[in-house]
Amino acid sequence: MYTEDDEDVKVKKKNSEDDYNDFYTSFSEMDEDESKKEKKKVKKKEEPVEKDEEDYQDFYGSEEEEKVEVKGDNYKKTVIKIGIIVILALLLIGLLFILFRKTEPGDIELSKTEYTLEVGQKDYISYKIVDTDKAINPSFNSNNPTVATVDDKGEITAVSKGESIITISYKIGRSSKEKKCTVKVNGPEIKHEMSLDLKASATNWTNKDVTINVDAKSDTKITSIKYAINCTGSCNYTDVTNNKIVVTNSGTTKVTVVAKDQSNLSVTKEITTKIDREVPTVTYTGNKDITSNSDVEVCVTCSDSGSGCKQAKVCKKFTSSKSNQVITVYDNAGNSNNSPTFNVKINKMTQPCTLKVSKDGTVSATLREKGVYYGFNSDCTGNNELSRKISISASKAGESGAKVVRYYVKYKNGSIGSCYLTVVKECSASGCTFRAS
């Protein structure tokens, strides 16, 4: 349905369109006016300049002059930039020159890096220390003094044929400088001699530390003496102090000593030390209390895993009664050990019996005093007997043999006496007979 409001909307819309068209037309006319003005300016430029215009240009300047002025400003800016770049480049070059120049402040400069001399000839090393106002006295050193020596003033002396490197150096604070030159010496070659002698305080087994005295000699100068213990393959060498080496290792120790001199000669020698600080082991299996009516011999055994025992079996003879006795054993290093204590009681008396033998080999005993046992058994057991027929292994003509027959008597107090007889059996074609020796 159509209403009055709709009509108002149409009217407002038409009025808005009319306003827009009027604005657009006005704007277009302004553009045309501006365009015409620009065209007139162009025509004026193309036309000859009248006097008024010339005066104007003289007062305000032309557009061409403005362009030249702008170009001048740009040129100045460019020149300034180039100048700054050149200055920075020069500073960089100067810095690089300081860092990488061949001669640094305080460097040692040599006029010669090689000298050729004859044996006995002398010469001075020519040098200077640059860019320094300090008084510097460098040191001089020859790596081969047997060829050429140098003193603290730089004087070279040719000693023998060969080549040596001389080092000139100095140090101030944390800064140090050095240069090297070569010295070649012509002349006859000299053969140098060197010797090394080792002497140990003990050459055999000992139970003490072993001191090795080192005597190194050279016709030049000994530069080093070092030693290694049980050296096999790669060795860890130690400097010898005061020409002495003290070995404390137990067991067998091989000491290798190397000496060197200025002529680069080297001598190596070895020496072996033997140290045993363990005491030997002593074994005693007898009774603590020993009773006898005759001399007694007591024995012990010795064992030692180090240097070994001087005697594997050690015996001691007793001819009288003794108390708290020990037997001492020794090893080859001088260590000792005692056996357990024991007591010896000896009750000597005349021989308790006499023995005789018949031709058929029967040994008969005559007792001075009967004891609780008497007979031929050393353990004093069995039946008491006064005679026994013995046998000796000889049966053919020309054969003979001998045997010691011992007879024992045991008394009530526990003492044991004995007597003995040496019996000889001899055989001939007619038979064998026994006799006392």
Domain that holds residue 160: 108-186
Pairing of β 416-428 and β 400-410 = antiparallel
**Does residue 359 share a domain with residue 327?**
no
Specify the amino acid at residue 178: E
Nearest to 206 by CA among 119, 120, 277: 277
Rg (CA), the chain: 63
Q: Are strands 281-283 and 244-247 parallel, antiparallel or unpaired?
A: unpaired
Last residue of a domain, one of 245, 275, 305: 275
Helical (H) or strand (E) element with 373: strand 373-375
Which amino acid is present at 431?
G
> Across 86-242, where does the E strand assignment appear?
108-110, 114-118, 122-124, 127-129, 139-142, 148-150, 155-158, 162-172, 175-186, 194-200, 205-206, 210-218, 222-229, 238-239
62: phi then psi, degrees, rounded to nearest 5: -90, 170
Q: Are 338 and 326 in contact (CB under 8 A)?
A: yes
Same domain as 178, residue 121: yes
Instruction: Please tell me the predicted confidence (pLDDT) of residue 74.
Output: 76
d(CA 303, CA 282): 7
Of 359, 361, 371, 357, the C-alpha closest to 418 is 371
Give the phi and the psi of residue 227 in degrees, each rounded to 5: -140, 160
> 31: part of which helix (H) or strand (E)?
helix 4-46
User: 126 and 90 share a domain?
Assistant: no
Q: Are residues 293 and 267 both part of a single domain?
A: no
Query: What distances in angstroms separate CA 352 from CA 163, 200, 375, one per listed residue?
Result: 99, 61, 12
Residue appearing with tokens 């393959």: 233
Q: Using alpha carbons, select from 327, 322, 323 the residue that is nearest to residue 298.
A: 327
How far is Cα 54 from Cα 122, in angstroms, rounded to an integer?
97
Structure tokens given for 253: 């120790």
**Residue 52 shares a structural domain with residue 39:** no
What is the CATH number for 151?
2.60.40.1080
Domains contained in the chain, number: 6
User: 318 and 326 in contact (C-beta within 8 Å)?
Assistant: no
Residues 329 and 303 in one domain: yes
Sole residue written with tokens 């005693």? 284
Q: Is there a single domain that holds both residue 373 and residue 430? A: yes
Which are the contacts of 283, defined by CB distance < 8 A and separation ≥ 6? 300, 301, 302, 303, 339
- Compute the C-alpha angle 411/412/414, nearest 5°: 70
- Whether residue 226 contacts residue 237, with contact meaning beta carbons closer than 8 Å, is answered with yes
Instruction: For residues 34 and 324, give the distance between their C-alpha atoms in angstroms, rounded to a whole number.
Output: 151
Note whether 36 and 57 are same-domain residues. Answer: no
pLDDT at 55: 52
- Full strand arrangement of the beta sheet holding 148-150: 122-124, 155-158, 148-150
**Domain identity same for 121 and 177:** yes
What CATH number did the domain enclosing 256 receive?
A: 2.60.40.10
The 10 Å Cβ neighbour count of residue 306 is 21
- Specify whether 319 is located in the same domain as 358: no
118 and 170 in a single domain? The answer is yes
Encode the chain (437 residues) as per-residue pLDDT tens digits: 444 444 444 444 444 455 545 544 544 454 455 445 444 444 444 444 444 555 545 545 555 555 555 566 777 778 888 888 989 888 888 787 666 654 455 788 888 999 999 988 999 998 888 766 677 788 999 988 888 999 999 999 998 888 999 999 988 767 788 899 999 999 877 777 899 999 999 999 999 999 999 999 998 889 899 999 998 777 889 999 999 999 999 999 999 999 998 777 899 999 999 999 999 999 998 888 887 767 888 999 999 999 999 999 999 999 888 999 999 999 999 999 999 999 988 776 667 888 999 999 999 999 888 888 999 998 988 889 999 999 998 889 989 898 989 999 898 878 888 888 889 999 999 999 999 87
Residues 6 or more apart whose CB falls under 8 angstroms from that of 301 comprise 282, 283, 312, 313, 314
**Is the distance from CB of 124 to CB of 148 less than 8 angstroms?**
no
> Cα separation of 400 and 425, whole Å?
5
CA 423 vs. chain centroid, Å, equals 74
Strands 342-346 and 289-292: parallel
User: At which of 246, 275, 304 does a domain end?
Assistant: 275
82, 95: one domain: yes
CA quadruple 224, 226, 232, 236: dihedral, nearest 10:
-100
- Looking at residue 58, what is its pLDDT? 52
The 10 Å CB-count burial string (b at 16+, else e) for 207-218 is beebebebebeb
Domain boundary among 275, 303, 329: 275
CB 179, CB 127: distance < 8 Å: yes
